[in-house]
């Protein structure tokens, strides 16, 4: 459907029509995002103790699948459908602590905290009841550090998706990072979700778009490492200030690393700085509208305001401005597709190949 040559020296980018097409947007909904792993935002704050529960939607306003994350009395984490198997009522509407079961407020159907049907009033005379269809659907749930993830129908193993990020930043005590609501916010971008990812996946634009960030990074040393299901961009600090204190056995020891930028297919960015983590969740809304949720987790507050992670809001607004310009530009009848810079846009090429492969089914 969208053939992307495996040789970056010959390849052309996705066509401009992809970023405008309702059909392509719908194919991404089912063949990319419904098969992806997604982070459950806020789980690390709400679902920490047995019997605590968090109702959420799998990619709100895009894939409106009502789900429920909870811990049972034995502290086992579960992700369940939040829809009653009797008449489709939403079971749990607000975060909080559950009692011994999940009870539907419509007709009193009850479920154990692992999703198994427990009982219902007025069932006399019903045949073949209860059966497997009366249980709540159970979804895979995985935990990495304090973060929880799920998928409606994963196309690839979670462990393959997360492994290289763990290998690279495993030395950091990520579970000690604390969510900072005051530094977290949502941005509405008037552009296609994939254009936002395209921009993120290359440092080519940094000296042209981000003057303050370019002053903190050695652009000539900036590099991109391709992962099976993502990329890792590595920013080298100028002058060695505000950089990671790497372990002696780390693969990057001896380098002044100011930032590790991880993109995990298709839409999640983990940006690690010496002060902590900025997490970007890219949520498609329409072919030309995207919501980007920034969630900030602070480890070393004394290092905030320094180096590559000094002014994330400014960098984000600069990125939004240029991506929105591109969204307008690709509508031109004179634009078809572009070419990849072999030395600078390996990440974008990798993304386009992964995306095209998923869209082929």
Q: How confident is the model over 66-103, as pLDDT tens digits?
A: 999 999 999 999 999 999 999 999 999 999 999 889 99
pLDDT of 346 higher than 90: yes
Model confidence over 187-231: pLDDT tens digits?
Answer: 999 999 999 999 999 999 998 999 888 888 888 999 999 999 999
Could you tell me which of 143, 144, 109 has the C-alpha nearest to residue 126?
Answer: 109
CA-nearest of 206, 210, 205, 79 to 142 is 79
- Residue 154: pLDDT over 80: yes
Give the CATH fold of the 158-359 domain.
Answer: Naphthalene 1,2-dioxygenase Alpha Subunit; Chain A, domain 1 (3.90.380)
Long-range contacts of 351-354 (CB under 8 A, 24+ apart): 351/194, 351/197, 351/198, 351/201, 351/231, 351/263, 351/265, 352/2, 352/4, 352/11, 352/13, 352/14, 353/4, 353/6, 354/229, 354/265, 354/266
- Residue 361 has a pLDDT of 72
CATH of domain 38-150: 2.102.10.10
216 and 310 in contact (C-beta within 8 Å)?
yes
Predicted confidence at residue 125, as pLDDT, reads 92
Q: In the prediction, which pLDDT does 99 show?
A: 87
Q: Which residue shows structure tokens 């072919």? A: 287
Domain spans in the chain, listed from the N-terminal domain onward: 38-150, 158-359
- Whether residue 239 has pLDDT greater than 80: no
The pair of structure tokens assigned to 2 is 């969208």
* Maximum alpha-carbon separation in the chain: 78
Q: How would residue 240 be classed by pLDDT, with cut points 50, 70 and 90?
A: low
pLDDT band at 238 (very low <50, low <70, confident <90, very high): confident
pLDDT in tens, 311-334: 888 999 999 999 999 999 999 999
Interior/surface letters 140-162, b for 16+ CB within 10 angstroms, e for the rest: ebbebbbbbbbbbebbeebeebb
Tell me what the mean pLDDT of segment 238-262 comes to.
Answer: 92
Taking the model in full, what pTM does it have? Answer: 0.95
> Which two tokens mark 180?
């900072």
């Amino acid at each position: 459907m969208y053939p992307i040559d495996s040789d970056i020296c010959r390849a052309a980018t996705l066509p401009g029509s992809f970023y405008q097409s309702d059909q392509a947007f719908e194919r991404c909904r089912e063949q990319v995002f419904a098969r992806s792993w997604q982070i459950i935002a806020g789980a690390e704050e709400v679902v920490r103790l047995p019997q605590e529960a968090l109702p959420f939607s799998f990619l709100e306003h895009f894939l409106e699948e009502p789900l429920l994350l909870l811990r049972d009395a034995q502290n086992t984490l579960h992700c369940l459908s939040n829809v009653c198997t009797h008449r489709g009522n939403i079971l749990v509407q607000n975060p909080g602590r559950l009692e011994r079961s999940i009870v539907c407020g419509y007709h009193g159907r009850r479920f154990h905290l692992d999703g198994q049907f427990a009982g219902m009033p007025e069932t006399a005379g019903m045949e073949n009841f209860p059966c497997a269809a009366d249980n709540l659907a159970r979804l895979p749930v995985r935990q990495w550090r304090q973060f929880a993830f799920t998928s409606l129908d994963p196309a690839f193993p979670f462990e393959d998706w997360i492994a290289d990020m763990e290998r690279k930043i495993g030395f950091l005590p990520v579970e000690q990072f604390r969510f900072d609501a005051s530094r977290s916010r949502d941005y509405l971008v008037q552009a296609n979700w994939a254009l936002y990812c395209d921009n993120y996946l290359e440092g080519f634009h940094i000296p042209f778009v981000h003057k303050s960030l370019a002053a903190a990074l050695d652009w000539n040393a900036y590099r991109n490492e391709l992962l099976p299901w993502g990329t890792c961009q590595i920013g080298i600090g100028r002058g060695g200030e505000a950089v990671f204190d790497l372990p002696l056995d780390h693969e990057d020891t001896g380098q002044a690393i100011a930032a590790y930028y991880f993109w995990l297919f298709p839409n999640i960015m983990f940006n690690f700085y010496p002060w902590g983590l900025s997490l970007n969740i890219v949520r498609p809304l329409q072919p030309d509208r995207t919501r980007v949720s920034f969630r900030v987790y602070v480890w070393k507050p004394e290092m905030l305001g320094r180096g590559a992670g000094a002014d994330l809001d400014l960098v984000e607004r600069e990125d939004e401005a240029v991506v929105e310009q591109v969204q307008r530009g690709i509508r031109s009848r004179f634009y078809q597709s572009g070419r990849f810079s072999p030395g600078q846009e390996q990440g974008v090429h990798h993304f386009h190949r992964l995306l095209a492969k998923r869209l082929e089914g």
